Amino acid sequence: MEIRESAEMYLETILILSKKSEQVRSVDISEYMGFSKPSVSRAVNLLKQGGFIDIDGNGYITLTKEGYEVASKIYERHTILTDVLKFLGVREETAASDACKIEHVISDEAFEAIKKHIKRN
């Protein structure tokens, strides 16, 4: 299933926040991403409807298996691409920003080739 870049970003954010704290709420996502609470609320509802997240009675958000798979894929792309760009001499802030853009459009084939090349060297 193909999902939008914005959904991928939300899922990646939920994964990152869940690594820092077991309890992730919409307000945490809003603060981390710098988005308004209504925007986050709408996105969270769409992710829930799509089966990517669960929300318990206290408003805590967890990734479903499918949501975790998407988030992990995007997070791996982000970290590896950031590291590659930094290795090439790109400043860390620029590397992270560019990796965030690239991670959503790079093909699986190209990304796997990058990973294979890194492992060889």
Q: What is the mean pLDDT of the chain?
A: 93
Q: What is the pLDDT of residue 119?
A: 84
Element (H, E) at 108: helix 108-120
| % residues pLDDT > 70 (the chain) | 98
Q: What is the pLDDT of residues 26-85, one digit of tens each?
A: 999 999 999 999 999 999 999 999 999 999 999 999 999 999 999 999 999 999 999 999
Q: Give the dihedral of Cα atoms 36, 40, 41, 46; nearest 10 deg.
A: 150
Q: Is residue 121 pLDDT above 80, yes or no?
A: no
Q: Is residue 1 pLDDT above 80, yes or no?
A: no
Query: DSSP 3-state assignment of 63?
Result: strand
Element (H, E) at 74: helix 65-87
Each domain of the chain, given as residue ranges in start order, spans 5-67, 70-120
CATH architecture classification, 5-67: Orthogonal Bundle (1.10)
Q: If 0-12 CB within 10 Å is exposed, 13-18 middle and 19+ buried, where does residue 20 land?
A: exposed
CATH architecture classification, 70-120: Orthogonal Bundle (1.10)
- Dist. CA 63–CA 93, nearest whole Å: 28
Q: What is the pLDDT of residue 54?
A: 97
